[in-house]
Amino acid sequence: MTKTNPGPIASLHQIRAGDEVAMPEAVPAGTWAIDPSASSLQFVARHMMVSKVRGRFLQFQGRILTGTDPSDASVEAWADAASLSTGDEARDEHLRSADFFDVERWPRLTLVGALKPSSTRRRLLAAQLTIRDVTCPVDFQVTLTGLHGGDPGDGSTDESSPTPAAGTVMHVLATSKVNRKDFDLRWNATIETGGVVVGDMVELVLDVTAHLEA
């Protein structure tokens, strides 16, 4: 992975949360530490055929590596399976059990991947997602939603500097959908009115803030 300065980033001040910009042409090369306090790893599954359950993992770490080439970007991250939360402790304990994540045997979920070349503003992240002892390929739609200049070290913020400052902040949204059965998450039960308790398809939403390291 090349980690040299890609040149001027005078347009950083124009890229703000809510914008959709090319990824990663506008992003400085380097290593970006994912900030768990400003990020979320969420999942959404159909429940009882009509409602949706939304959950997230509260403990996770990761980093994004960007290079000088527009297609040279990758990510590696992990989450503590036991840290999952859906807002219902009884349901969370069931999800942690051997029926689902089996957190005592498989305490971590991991994701590694790299961007696919694309001519569109949205990019595809070709990833390998591991849940329990099963690893499957998963493609994420990735959008850079914000990029903010960091502190150059003298107490000021110079977003027109040709050298990206440590602390520059990047915001990325990545989404995908997976079949939980592909990861051996097969538990289910029928309901009296017909249908099943848990839907097979699960939406994944990774809302990530990362800081450029020195």
In tens, the pLDDT along 23-46 reads 545 688 999 999 999 999 999 987
CATH code (residue 161): 2.40.128.110
Q: Give, in degrees to the nearest 5, the angle at Cα 133 between 129 and 135.
A: 30
> Given 3-state DSSP classes, what are the helix, strand and coil percentages for the chain, each rounded to the nearest 5?
10, 45, 45
Residue 199: pLDDT band by 50, 70, 90 thresholds?
confident
Evaluate whether residue 3 is within a structural domain.
no
Q: Give, in degrees to the nearest 5, the angle at Cα 49 between 181 and 94.
A: 55
Spatial CB neighbours of 49, under 8 Å, sequence gap ≥ 6: 191, 194, 195, 196, 199
More confident residue, 165 or 136: 136
Residue 83: pLDDT band by 50, 70, 90 thresholds?
very high
Residue 8 has what pLDDT?
Answer: 33
Residue 167 pLDDT > 90, yes or no? no
**What is the average pLDDT score of the chain?**
80
Residue 140: pLDDT band by 50, 70, 90 thresholds?
very high
Rg (CA), the chain: 19
Residue 200 has what pLDDT?
Answer: 85
Evaluate whether residue 5 is within a structural domain.
no
Spatial CB neighbours of 209, under 8 Å, sequence gap ≥ 6: 34, 35, 38, 39, 169, 170, 171
Residue 18 has what pLDDT?
Answer: 42
- The answer to whether 79 and 112 have CB atoms below 8 angstroms apart is no
Residue 172: pLDDT band by 50, 70, 90 thresholds?
very high
Evaluate whether residue 1 is within a structural domain.
no
Domain count, the chain: 1
For range 83-87, the mean pLDDT:
96
Distance CA 204, CA 42 (A): 6
Evaluate whether residue 4 is within a structural domain.
no
Evaluate whether residue 2 is within a structural domain.
no
- The pLDDT tens digits for 144-164 are 898 887 654 444 444 444 445
Residue 201 has what pLDDT?
Answer: 87
- Which domain does 186 fall in, by range? 10-212
More confident residue, 137 or 23: 137
Evaluate whether residue 180 is within a structural domain.
yes
